[in-house]
Each structure stands twice: as structure tokens, then as C-alpha cells.
């Protein structure tokens, strides 16, 4: 009996000693390092990463200590933490509790392409431009994410995100693609009324998103393109011309741009381009899934963010002459007029 009691005491002392050693004696042996907590990252993953990256003695011990001595309502904030050399697990808790460097909020509007997103991220100090562009085209990452195109274009969901500084491009892409999947999971991509595949729906939605900023026009524009596809008329969409040479595009479409045959130029190819040309929002995708039924085959900008739609080519030419070739109808008008109208309507 005495031996059993002694064993229990020895075992207890060993456990206490191990806990004491793990929390107060053991030290992180590497150099001062940054530890980044991503937006929405859960405690279990953070705990595992702290251990795997050598910052904690034991994930189990860290878990129990955190639950015992830290208010569970105080979630670990996203951001960038500096962990010095010789940090013990006891030292680690106040570092984690006080919060990292504030994460950066970045808004990606509907219709921005991966190159524009890359610029925005680099400008905010999140991920480098070239790193983001290259990662967006990485075959390994695309396969993991289930994307069959040559880039993540079309699946970088437009929304407001929070990232810590120097977040890797791959992490940003994963977050944005996962957001796309969440926001579109209940849409009816299959059995499209006009026979488009889910991938083709995204391609056409990206064109619709670029062609109009007027919410009420999206289904109408989608209907125009569906009519042209069914009649085997080339789409002749200017945004596809621009995208085909986006990084070298100078700001104005020229004759040589229209004549440049590439996999995106819908003035020179039949049907849809090889992939999306931007990242559409949910509304543009829904417009393509359920396009408006009409006989329009043409549309031209009215210079205020909306368009004039026509059934016949002659009617379309008259609209082009009126809205685009008559100076007085262009002067003082801008797509910003539409945004102002939409804002006023929202406030009323």
C-alpha cells in the first residue's frame, strides 16, 4: 500500500514537474520571428501552428493553460505577432492576449481582375503583385482548389477581407476562393436552360460584370450575349479585348487590339473566351443562370452607366451615332451619374 502511495506521489510530482518545465523553463530556441494569425483562423489551428513552428512546448499543455487562465470570449485576434528568442510558454500568453499588429481591411469590388487585385494587395502591403499573379496561375494550387482554368480568375470573390501584413499570396487566394464557394454554393449551376456548363457560366458572368455597372441591366445584358451565342454571332465585347493584353494595355482600344487574335478577343474568336476576364459578384452569376428573354442582339453605352438595347443592326448603328458620335450627348456624362442615382435611390 505504501509502495502504491509512493508511486502515486512520484507520478504526481512528475506531472507537476513536466507542467512546470513546459510552461516556465522550456524556451523557444530560434531567432525572433513573426507569427501571423489569419482572419477567421480558429484556436485549434493556431495552437497546432505554434507547436509546429517551435513556439510552444506542447499543444495539449497550451490548450489547457489557455482555457484555465484566459477568458474564452477573448478570441485570439488576427494580425502579426512578434515572438522573441528565449520565449517561454508563460511569456507567450501575454503576447497572444494583447493582440497582433492590426490586420488590414481591403475591399475588392465586383469586376476587378486578378491583376487589379494584385495591385491593390501590394499597395496595402499584404502580398506582392508578381507573387499574387504567379500564385493565381500555379497549376498545383489550382488543382487543389478544383479550378479547371489556367488561373484563379473568376473565383476570387469580390468582398471585404482582413489580412495581416505580408500574408502569402497563396493564403489570400485560398481565402477568396473559399469565399466564392460559400457565397455561390446554393446557386443552380447545373442544367442551365441554354446548356452552359458551370465553368461557362462564370466566364459569361465575368463579361456581364464588366459590361454594366447598372444592377437592373445585368439580366438584359446576359440575355443579349445568350442570343448571340445561340445565333453563333461573335460576342464582340470590348472588355475581353482589353483583358487579352491587360498588363500591356495602354488605356484606349485601337484597331490593332481588335485585330489581335488571342483566346480572349471575342471580336476574333467564336463563342466564349478561354476563361473568365474578371471576378463577378453573385448578382452577375445569377443573371447568367437566369438571363432575361428578349430579342436584343446589340447594346451601346449611353455614357451614364446604362445602355441602349437594339434588335437590329441598323437600329444599333443609329444608337451608336446618337450616343457615341454626337459630342453633346457625351459631354458632361459619366458612369458616376449612375452611381449617384443609385446612392440617392438607396437613401430614399
Per-residue pLDDT at 346: 37
Q: What angle in degrees, to the nearest 10, is found between the helix axes of 218-230 and 198-211?
A: 120
pLDDT band of residue 146 (cuts 50, 70, 90) is very high
E strands, 32-90, in order = 33-37, 79-83
CATH 3.30.1490 domain locations along the chain: 22-98, 104-184
Using a 10 angstrom Cβ sphere, with 0-12 exposed, 13-18 middle and 19 or more buried, the burial of residue 258 is middle
- DSSP per residue, 236-272: --HHHHHHTTGGG--SS--HHHHH---TT-TTTSSSS
- The architecture that CATH gives domain 104-184 is 2-Layer Sandwich (3.30)
Cβ proximity of 307 and 217 under 8 Å: yes
Per-residue pLDDT at 344: 38
- Mean pLDDT computed over every residue of the chain: 86
pLDDT(335) > 50: no
pLDDT(244) > 50: yes
Fold that domain 22-98 belongs to in CATH: Dna Ligase; domain 1 (3.30.1490)
- Lookup: cell for 66: 489557455
Handedness of CA 213, 216, 218, 221 (dihedral sign): negative
Comparing 101 with 134, the larger pLDDT belongs to: 134
pLDDT(323) > 70: yes
Amino acid at each position: 500500500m505504501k509502495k502504491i502511495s509512493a508511486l502515486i506521489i512520484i507520478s504526481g510530482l512528475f506531472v507537476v514537474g513536466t507542467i512546470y518545465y513546459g510552461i516556465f523553463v522550456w524556451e523557444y530556441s530560434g531567432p525572433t520571428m513573426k507569427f501571423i494569425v489569419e482572419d477567421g483562423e480558429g484556436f485549434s489551428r493556431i495552437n497546432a501552428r505554434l507547436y509546429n513552428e517551435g513556439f510552444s512546448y506542447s499543444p495539449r499543455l497550451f490548450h489547457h493553460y489557455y482555457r484555465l487562465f484566459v477568458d474564452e470570449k477573448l478570441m485570439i485576434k488576427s494580425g502579426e505577432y512578434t515572438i522573441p528568442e528565449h520565449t517561454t510558454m508563460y511569456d507567450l500568453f501575454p503576447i497572444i492576449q494583447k493582440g497582433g499588429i492590426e490586420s488590414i481591411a481591403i475591399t475588392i469590388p465586383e469586376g476587378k481582375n486578378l491583376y487589379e487585385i494584385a495591385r491593390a494587395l501590394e499597395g496595402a502591403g499584404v502580398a506582392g503583385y508578381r507573387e499574387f499573379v504567379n500564385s493565381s496561375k500555379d497549376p498545383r494550387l489550382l488543382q487543389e482548389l478544383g479550378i479547371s482554368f489556367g488561373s484563379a480568375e473568376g473565383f476570387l470573390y469580390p468582398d471585404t477581407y482582413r489580412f495581416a501584413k505580408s500574408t502569402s499570396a497563396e493564403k489570400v487566394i485560398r481565402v477568396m476562393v473559399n469565399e466564392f464557394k460559400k457565397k455561390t454554393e446554393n446557386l443552380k449551376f447545373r442544367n442551365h436552360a441554354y446548356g452552359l456548363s458551370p465553368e461557362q457560366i462564370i466566364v459569361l458572368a465575368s463579361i456581364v460584370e464588366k459590361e454594366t455597372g447598372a444592377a437592373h441591366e445585368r439580366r438584359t445584358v446576359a440575355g443579349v450575349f445568350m442570343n448571340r451565342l445561340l445565333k453563333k454571332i461573335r460576342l464582340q465585347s470590348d472588355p475581353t479585348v482589353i483583358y487579352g493584353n491587360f498588363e500591356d494595355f495602354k488605356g484606349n482600344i485601337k484597331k490593332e487590339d481588335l485585330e489581335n487574335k488571342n483566346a480572349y478577343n471575342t471580336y476574333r474568336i467564336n463563342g466564349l473566351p478561354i476563361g473568365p476576364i474578371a471576378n463577378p459578384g453573385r448578382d452577375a452569376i445569377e443573371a447568367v443562370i437566369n438571363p432575361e428573354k428578349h430579342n436584343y442582339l446589340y447594346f451601346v453605352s449611353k455614357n451614364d452607366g446604362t445602355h441602349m438595347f437594339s434588335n437590329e443592326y441598323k437600329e444599333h448603328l443609329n444608337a451608336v451615332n446618337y450616343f457615341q458620335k454626337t459630342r453633346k450627348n457625351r459631354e458632361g456624362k459619366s458612369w458616376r451619374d449612375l452611381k449617384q442615382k443609385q446612392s440617392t435611390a438607396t437613401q430614399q
